[in-house]
């Protein structure tokens, strides 16, 4: 029997594990891919208190080392289902079954796809959702970034340092990003910003060769000949597997109040829950609150 199982190894999950372990509880984290979550792919973090600048990967590594040194257990397994049995929870993964007194869901979100033909088959052949992971493969080449918020602008700025040209392609006529990023964008001569265009087709042979857009104002065709396309248009939750124990809103996010859900003993933290602001700092805050709620739940139900 484990005191607290944390589902998700991102900032929210690792913070929850940190606080739960420091409260004297046994803690096990499950992560189906690699620890760090969304922030691990961020090229630069500049809005985390006390740290002026750090890469998302380095910050994630620091968090992971901290909880491992405390004795938090980490399992690379995909949680498929949670069942409630009496006063405990059965957590079923793709490898094993575990029992826990409390569960914190910090499953995060996944990349939103554009959902046009050939997108999936071109992943790794010019289509990517992570410039940090794949940007170096296109050094000196022309690339495109699709998106208009912080991640898209961060990717664009990072790529502009190593690529010949970077086309930033936006569906709307305004940015939804921090003004500091917008200002830095304007200083780069090799960044070409094109607004109010919608991607209609991937051009390719064996690999990506270009992108065909359509103007949302004039319906005019716009083509960019690029070797890579980095898609940064947001994220979507993957919470359907937990809906037997939690309520979801119409977008699939877990409904919660102060990280609590409709099921006592089940808590939620980070981007996978309903909230107004999804940032690194709010994920960390959620993790701390969810952990203390879980600790209090266990202590009050001995």
Judge residue 300's burial from the number of C-beta atoms within 10 Å of its C-beta, 0-12 exposed, 13-18 middle, 19 or more buried: exposed
- Give the closest residue to 201 by CA, choosing from 127, 139, 138: 127
Is 90 exceeded by the pLDDT of residue 134? no
Give dist(CA 185, CA 194) in Å, integer: 13
> Average pLDDT, whole number, for the chain?
94
The residue ranges of every structural domain in the chain are: 2-110+235-300, 127-231
- Give the closest residue to 227 by CA, choosing from 163, 155, 132: 163
Q: Residue with structure tokens 């009050």? A: 300
Q: What is the pLDDT of residues 239-288, one digit of tens each?
A: 999 999 999 999 999 999 999 999 999 999 999 999 988 889 999 999 99
Is 80 exceeded by the pLDDT of residue 41? no
Least confident of 60-69, 190-199, 272-281, 288-297: 272-281
% of the chain surpassing 90 pLDDT: 84
pTM greater than 0.85: no
Which pLDDT does position 256 carry in this prediction?
95
Mean pLDDT of 125-135: 89
% of the chain surpassing 70 pLDDT: 100
CATH of range 127-231; options 3.40.630.30, 3.40.50.300, 3.30.9.10, 3.50.50.60: 3.50.50.60
Is 90 exceeded by the pLDDT of residue 46? no
Which pLDDT does position 277 carry in this prediction?
84
Kindly give the pairing relationship between strand 109-111 and strand 235-237: antiparallel
What contacts 40, CB < 8 A, 6 or more positions away?
10, 34, 56, 57, 60
Is 90 exceeded by the pLDDT of residue 1? yes
Give dist(CA 107, CA 61) in Å, integer: 18
CATH of range 2-110+235-300; options 1.10.3130.10, 3.60.15.10, 3.50.50.60, 3.30.565.10: 3.50.50.60
């Amino acid at each position: 029997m484990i005191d607290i199982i944390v589902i998700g190894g991102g900032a929210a999950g690792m913070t929850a594990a940190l606080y739960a372990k420091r409260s004297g509880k046994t803690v096990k984290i499950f992560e189906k891919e690699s620890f760090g979550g969304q922030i691990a792919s961020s090229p630069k973090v500049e809005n985390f208190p006390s740290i002026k600048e750090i890469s998302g990967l380095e910050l994630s590594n620091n968090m992971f080392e901290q909880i491992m040194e405390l004795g938090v257990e980490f399992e690379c397994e995909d949680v498929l289902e949670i069942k409630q049995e009496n006063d405990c929870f059965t957590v079923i993964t793709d490898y094993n079954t575990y029992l826990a007194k409390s569960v914190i869901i910090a499953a995060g979100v996944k990349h939103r796809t554009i959902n046009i033909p050939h997108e999936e088959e071109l992943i790794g052949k010019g289509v990517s959702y992570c410039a940090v992971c794949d940007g170096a493969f296109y050094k000196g080449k022309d690339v495109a970034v699709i998106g208009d918020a912080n991640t898209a602008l961060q990717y664009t700025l990072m790529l502009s340092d190593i690529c010949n040209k970077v086309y930033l392609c936006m569906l709307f006529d305004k940015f939804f990003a921090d003004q500091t990023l917008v200002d830095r964008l304007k200083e780069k001569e090799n960044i070409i910003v094109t607004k109010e265009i919608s991607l209609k087709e991937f051009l390719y042979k064996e690999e990506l060769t270009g992108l065909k857009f359509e103007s949302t104002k004039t319906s005019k065709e716009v083509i960019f000949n690029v070797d890579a396309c980095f898609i940064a248009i947001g994220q979507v939750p993957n919470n359907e597997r937990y809906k037997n124990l939690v309520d979801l809103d119409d977008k699939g996010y877990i409904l919660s109040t102060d990280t609590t859900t409709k099921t006592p003993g089940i808590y939620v933290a980070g981007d996978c829950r309903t909230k107004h602001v999804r940032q690194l700092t709010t994920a960390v805050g959620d993790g701390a609150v969810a952990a203390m709620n879980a600790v209090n739940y266990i202590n009050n139900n001995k």
